[in-house]
Every structure is written in structure tokens, then in C-alpha cells.
Structure 1
Amino acid sequence: MIWQWFAKWRASVGIHAQKLVRFLWLSMRASLLFVLVGCPEKPTIVTAVCPDLAAGCQFLLSDRMIHAKANGAITAIRPFKLTITSVGAKQVSAEFVMQGMEMGPSRYRFISSSGDTWIADVMLPICVQGRRDWYMILNLDDRQVRVPFTSQ
């Protein structure tokens, strides 16, 4: 019954309407495929243990050993150098965030100083609530690790 109606409709409309229907039908099928397959999941961000970033720490990300160290006390609104050492890294960047607090963009690209050592001049924003609990989300090539730390 529906096919008969469709055949009559198709014979009565022009070619532009047929092209529109074909486009809508293909769009609907593509949307359905996207819903059924779903979006690829974001990779899980590994959390590293680093009790004192100023003293330095080592952690493993996938198969890569990473060493992170600040050049002194970490305080808000006071610049400090952060050094990341990782064998074979091609690109290193970091973002500093607080859980549940929008502090504005705080992203830094590290510069290769020699071989496997990367350095960035970092300055944390001040939190008006006085919080000092931070997460550094470290990006090494296509991998991410979250490093919780506390500022002074």
C-alpha cells in the first residue's frame, strides 16, 4: 500500500523534489548509522601519583617513563619553570585546571631544550576561594596523564 502511494507520488512530483527526498533519505540513514555506531569514546586519562611536583616525581604513561619537576615552590601568580623529561617525545603541552572550577585557559606548550628534556615557563592563576588543589593534564604526543598537585 505504501509503495503504491510512493509510486504515484514519485510520478506526480518533479525531479527536484525527487532529489530532495533522496538527499533526506540518505541523510536519515547516515544519522541512524552514526547513532547506532556511536561516537568514539575519549581515551581514558591516566592519573599519576606525584605528591610534590616541586620535588619532582616519576610516573609511567603507557610504555614511557616520565619525569616532572618544578624549579621551586609552586605558588599562584608567580612564574616557575616546569621540566618534563620523556624519551622519544615529539610534542609536549600541559593544561592546569581545578576540579569543578573554571579558572580560564591555562595551557602551555613545552619547548625542547635538549634531546628528551622539555621546559615551559608556567604561571598558575589565583583562586579567589583560596583553593590550591590543581591538576596538570600533561599531553605527550597522543597520550594524556593527569597529575594532581597542590600549590603553596
Structure 2
Amino acid sequence: MTRAAGALFALALLLGIAIGVFAPRWRAWLDGGAGPLTVLTPDPACRPLGASCSAAGHDLGITVRLGQTVRPLVAFPVEVRLSGPAAAAVRGVEAHFVMVDMDMGLMRFALAPQPDGSWHGQALLPVCSNGRSDWQLRLRVQTAGTRYEAGFPFQAER
């Protein structure tokens, strides 16, 4: 083995070790921080288009409402209200939009706290090249010690 090949092998080995050690931390950072995840289950029949949908756990309740219509490439409002003992400790609320079994890219929108205690923001969805419009809004709520998530399915207009 030449000296250059040996150095390249050592560099690749160190890079592999670094990825193995730091990848879980990077993943936790991308997922919104530390703390256990509590999944809140909403009514599966509820659709948050122009109507309020809720999900609750023992210490946090989430109510979400999207705009009356949601179309690709047109901004629409996202409104979230929180209730329960954990609501006072919330540090951030994000709206993530995903399409099941289809990678549509990273669609994260941070919501801003309002004086009335609600969280508001705007979101924008891309056009699906396969013509699909079945989306899921995954709300992520972060407190100092716990992450909460609730999923709300809906159909966007085409």
C-alpha cells in the first residue's frame, strides 16, 4: 500500500467513525431537539381545511386550522392553539407537511407565538409531479423536556 493510499484509508476510517458518532446528534437536531417524543392522536375523520381539528394527551392539547382551501404554490394560513399544563412551557411550534410514500422535500414552517397564546404562520406546498394531493400535516411542539407530534391528513386542491 502506498503512503497516499494509506492516508486516504485512514481519512475514510476517521470520517466513518465521525459520522457514526455524530449522526444521531444531527438527526436529533434536525428533528427539533432533545427529549422524549409524545405522539398525540387526533380524530382520524377530521380534516383541518377551514375547520378545527384537535389532538390531546394527558398534559397538552393541540387544535389546528388551515385555510379554507390549500393549493400548491399558493400560501395558506396555519393556526394552532395549545391547551393543558404543558402549553405554558412551549418553546416552539412547527408545521411539517409530508406525503405518505413520496419524498416531496423538507417542508417545515415555524409558527410564531401570538399575544393571545396561539401560534400562526404561513405555509406553501409544492406541486406533485405524479398529480397526488394527499398530504399530512405533522405538527411538532417542543417544550424544554418533551417533544409532541400530531398528524392531520387532508387533501389539497389541484
1:60–1:46 Cα change, 3 Å: closer
Identity rate, percent: 24
The match for 2:150 among 139, 145, 150 is 145
User: Would you identify which runs of 4 or more consecutive aligned residues in structure 1 move more than 4 Å?
Assistant: none
Higher-Rg member (1/2) = 1
Q: TM-score, normalised by structure 2?
A: 0.63
Task: Give the conservation status (yes or no) of the 8 Å contact 2:40–2:56.
Answer: no
Q: Secondary structure at the match of 1:114?
A: coil
> Is 2:62 the partner of 1:57?
no
Task: Write the letter of the residue equivalent to 2:138.
Answer: I
* Structure 2 residues without counterparts, runs of 5 or longer: 1-35
Superposition pairs for residues 81-92 of structure 1, below 5 Å? 81-87=77-83, 88=87, 89-92=90-93
Q: Which gives a bigger RCO, structure 1 or 2 (Cα 8 Å, sep 6+)?
A: 2
**Counterpart in 2 of 1:136?**
137
Q: How many residues align?
A: 111
In structure 2, C-alpha distance between the alignment counterparts of 1:127 and 1:61, rounded to whole Å: 33
Q: Distance in 2 between matches of 1:74 and 1:111?
A: 20
Q: Tell me which residue corresponds to 2:68.
A: 72
Equivalent residues of 1:82, 1:120 under 8 A apart: yes
Displacement of 1:59 in angstroms is 2.0
Partners in 2 of 1:77 and 1:83 — Cα distance? 19
1:31-77 CA distances to partner (integer Å, 9 max, x unpaired)? xxxxxxxxxxx846444235221222122134222111113211111
Is contact 1:48-1:148 (8 Å) kept? no
* 1:61 and 1:145 in contact (8 A); partners too: no
**Native 8 Å contact 2:41 2:56 kept in 1:** no
Alpha-carbon RMSD across the aligned residues, in angstroms, is 1.9
| Counterparts of residues 94-113 of structure 1 (less than 5 Å) | 94-113=95-114
Of the candidates 23, 42, 46, which is equivalent to residue 48 of structure 1?
42
Inter-partner Cα distance in structure 1 for 2:116 and 2:46: 27
